Amino acid sequence: MKNQLLRLLAVAALVFSAPLASAHETIQAGPNGGRLLTKIKPRAEFLLTAERKVQITFVGEDGNPIAPAEQVVTVTTGDRAAPTKLSFSKTVTGLLSDAAVPAGNNFPTVVQIKANPEAKAAVARFNLNTAICPGCKNPEYVCICGH
Ligand SMILES: [Zn+2]
């Protein structure tokens, strides 16, 4: 019963915090030039590689990469009508998606990260827009100038 209540509270917190997060969120770049997901602890960097795979790197308080532990990452992206769900494998530096993001741009993207297989997922949402921002020259999904 207590568990159920906690779960309800967690869902309510997610629902009520979502509109705040999407408006005027300051975006930070990670150590590899990807988007830093600051709501996830430890912070995680989302980077679309040249092969259109998703690379997730965990980032410590000092801004340096830290090795992944037991985290389980799922990324849902692609055309809203037929989204692609990516799973991840550990690499030396972090996690890399097993498949590539489909061709196209400006996909609504949901990143779910569990601290371990039993934990509740922390969620980050953004549009994966790879057009280059004229202000900061980053891809729009890593735009740090608010352009
Ligand atoms: Zn910018």
Using the mean position of ligand 1's atoms as its centre, give its distance from the Cα of residue 27 in Å: 9
Residue 94 located in a structural domain: yes
Using the mean position of ligand 1's atoms as its centre, give its distance from the Cα of residue 103 in Å: 23
Residue 63 located in a structural domain: yes
Task: Please give the model's pTM, rounded to 2 decimal places.
Answer: 0.82
Residue 15's pLDDT is what?
A: 47
Residues 6+ apart with CB under 8 A from 123: 14, 110, 111, 112, 113
Residue 33 located in a structural domain: yes
Contact by Cβ (8 Å): 112, 120: no
Residue 77's pLDDT is what?
A: 98
Using the mean position of ligand 1's atoms as its centre, give its distance from the Cα of residue 141 in Å: 9
Q: Please tell me the distance from the alpha carbon of residue 95 to that of residue 73, in angstroms, as a whole number.
A: 8
Assign residue 114 the CATH number of its domain: 2.60.40
Residue 12 located in a structural domain: no
Residue 13 located in a structural domain: no
Using the mean position of ligand 1's atoms as its centre, give its distance from the Cα of residue 127 in Å: 14
**Tens-digit pLDDT profile for residues 112-124:** 999 999 999 999 9
Using the mean position of ligand 1's atoms as its centre, give its distance from the Cα of residue 133 in Å: 5
Tell me which residue range forms the domain holding 106: 28-142
Residue 44 located in a structural domain: yes
Total domains, the chain: 1
**Tens-digit pLDDT profile for residues 80-125:** 899 999 999 999 889 999 999 999 999 999 999 999 999 999 999 9
Using the mean position of ligand 1's atoms as its centre, give its distance from the Cα of residue 30 in Å: 15
Residue 19 located in a structural domain: no
Q: What is the DSSP string of 11-66?
A: HHHHHHHHHHHHSSPPPEE-TTSSEEETTSSSEEEEEE-TTS-EEEEEE-TTS-EE
Residue 58 located in a structural domain: yes
